[in-house]
Amino acid sequence: MVKERSASYPVEGATLQVQSILYGLSIKEVGRTIESLRRGFDLAHADGVLERLRFFMGDTSAEPCLSDEELEKVKEKYGDFIEIDYHFFDKNVGSAAGHNFLAEDADTDYLMILNPDVVISPRLLQRMIAPFQSGAVGMTEAKQLPIEHPKDYDARTGETSWATTACAITPTNLFRQLEGFDSESFFLYCDDVDYSWRVREAGKKVIFLPDAVAFHDKRVSQSGSWQPSSAEVYYSAQAALLMAYKWSNEKLLNKILSFYENGSEQERAAFDHFQTKREENKLPEQRDRSHKIATFEGFLYAKHRYAL
């Protein structure tokens, strides 16, 4: 069981479980992430901020990303610094369900949700843990390079509507209090938006930290726009409908339904998925009926500082 901490979430000598969901990655790609975590922990430990770091990988690939031999080599190389665990799901359970599973037996003060293609800067861990000392913060988020997320944040306080879990930290006790990610509703996208809004609903702040920098291996077209796969388009469309419904924005929901009904193949599939869940009474419980938490901006989940 996780040891109980006071509401102030003290940071001195803290413990951290870092979680990554793997899908079709090589040991070379995962190794970059682990190497950056090791350096980050070295500095955080020397500063007295972290006393223990655990890295837990959940593999949703069709075949294991790491062989037994590769896993043993990783543990041999980094085991003196990081406790490394690996779980092969033998099916694609999705990111939300995968992270919930990995967090079940976490015995650390904090959880870090980290994409396996992210390389953290050397002092990122100290900077992301420090804000919890106030007791008012429930989630911190790193700045991603080379493509920073365009959502808005308060330049003075760092407060933002939601945190992308490409690289984010939350107290383990709070994660359990909120029952983790809503894996019943969100397979791949918007589990982080939904969790962030529930953090704020619980009275805690979500903080973006521009000085906590992480490299996220993203690609854009020659025009500078995203290049989503067909699966990403489908799951993003599916999540958009469920977010509008769950967070009680009926006007937006109807607008998206109308748009998707005659949209692309993936959008029509998302429309059918939502209608099926509605007919089977399997939609999530609605919340925030007074519209105090959710920050919809058109089809977006926050005001953006620039277009991407």
CATH, residue 64:
3.90.550.10
Residues 92 and 190 in one domain: yes
Same-domain check for residues 244 and 189: no
pLDDT tens profile 187-212? 989 999 999 999 999 999 999 999 99
DSSP string, 216-272: E---B-TTS-B---HHHHHHHHHHHHHHHHHTT-HHHHHHHHHHHHTS-HHHHHHHH
- The answer to whether position 145 is within a domain reads no
pTM: 0.93
Please state, in angstroms and rounded to a whole number, the distance separating the CA atoms of residues 50 and 125.
9
Position 47 in a domain: yes
Residues 29 and 178 in one domain: yes
Distance in angstroms (rounded) separating the CA atoms of residues 287 and 250? 12
**Is 52 in the same domain as 189?**
yes
* The predicted structure's pLDDT at residue 18: 98
pLDDT at 39: 97
Q: What is the structure's pLDDT at 188?
A: 87
Q: What is the pLDDT of residues 46-62, one digit of tens each?
A: 999 999 999 999 999 99
> 115 and 44, same structural domain?
yes
105 & 19 share domain = yes
Mark whether 181 and 260 lie in a shared domain: no
pLDDT at 271: 98
- Does residue 141 lie within any of the structural domains? no
**Same domain for 112 and 236?**
no
- CA-to-CA distance for 94 and 85, rounded, in angstroms? 19
- Residue 147's pLDDT is 87
Looking at the domain assignment, is residue 168 inside a domain?
A: yes
Does some domain include residue 189?
A: yes
**Would 252 be classed as within a structural domain?**
yes
What pLDDT is attached to residue 224?
Answer: 60
275 contacts: CB under 8 Å, gap ≥ 6 = none
Q: Do 48 and 106 fall into the same domain?
A: yes
The parent domain of residue 270 ranges over 230-279
Run of H or E including 57: strand 50-59
| 67 and 18 within one domain | yes
pLDDT, position 225: 61
d(CA 8, CA 11): 9
Decide if 139 contacts 207 (C-beta within 8 A): yes
In angstroms, how far is the first alpha carbon of the chain from the final one?
Answer: 43
Residue ranges of the chain with pLDDT lower than 70?
Answer: 1-12, 219-228
Q: pLDDT at position 133, please?
A: 94
Please tell me whether residues 170 and 85 are part of one structural domain. Answer: yes
Structural domains in the chain (count): 2
Residue 44 inside a domain? The answer is: yes
Read off the tokens for 166: 């490409």
pLDDT for the residue 217 = 79
